[in-house]
Amino acid sequence: MEQRFLRGSDGQYRWHLVRGVPVFDENGTVTKYVGANTDIHDQKMLAEELGKATTELERKSEQLRAVLERAPIGISFIEAPTGRMVMMNRRATEMLGHETRVKEGYQQYAKMGAVHDDGSPYRAEEYPSVRALKKGETIIDEEMIYMKADGAKRFFSVSRGPIKSER
């Protein structure tokens, strides 16, 4: 079990993990206990701090998710190096006319419906997202045409760029 003990050397209360087992005589009577105490105070304090930090991170993540979902522009995050769509906000889904393809990688681009002026479909490597991920390019306001499932053309200005981790 876990207990707090007053440490004599400095008067500080510390958490300990307490273990003990009874020792029996030949008649089955408990004659003594043998046990050990392990100071786990630092681990408990770190676990408490980690729990608080995790709760704060979850709160901030939910705030960010809410902001992205309410943004008036289409926003998506794509994972490098796989090309897997990690997140697409509601506005992006509405604009493109299809649901998020979170499990697919670069092959998803062949299904997204972008076409050139002459009507020929984009190859995966032509998409701004793919170029940004594979080549590290930053694309700003590139004009694209998307064909929706109902055949309607949608014109978009697309900006993409890699986000590099600080680690």
3-state secondary structure of 31: strand
β strands within the chain, DSSP E: 2-6, 13-24, 30-39, 76-78, 85-88, 114-115, 139-147, 153-160
User: pLDDT tens digit string along 100-146?
Assistant: 555 566 666 766 788 888 988 888 888 888 888 888 889 999 999 98
Q: How many Å from the N-terminal Cα to the C-terminal Cα in the chain? A: 39
pLDDT at 104: 65
Residues 6+ apart with CB under 8 A from 137: 128, 131, 160, 161, 162
Tell me how far apart the alpha carbons of residues 135 and 57 are, in angstroms, rounded to a whole number.
31
Region of residue 136 (phi > 0: left; psi between -120 and 50: alpha; otherwise: beta): left
pTM for the predicted model, two decimal places: 0.62
Question: What percent of the chain has pLDDT above 90?
Answer: 48
Buried b (16+ CB within 10 A) or exposed e, 61-96: eeeeeeebeeeeebebebeeeebbbeebbebbeebb
Per-residue pLDDT at 54: 97
pLDDT < 50 regions, the chain: none
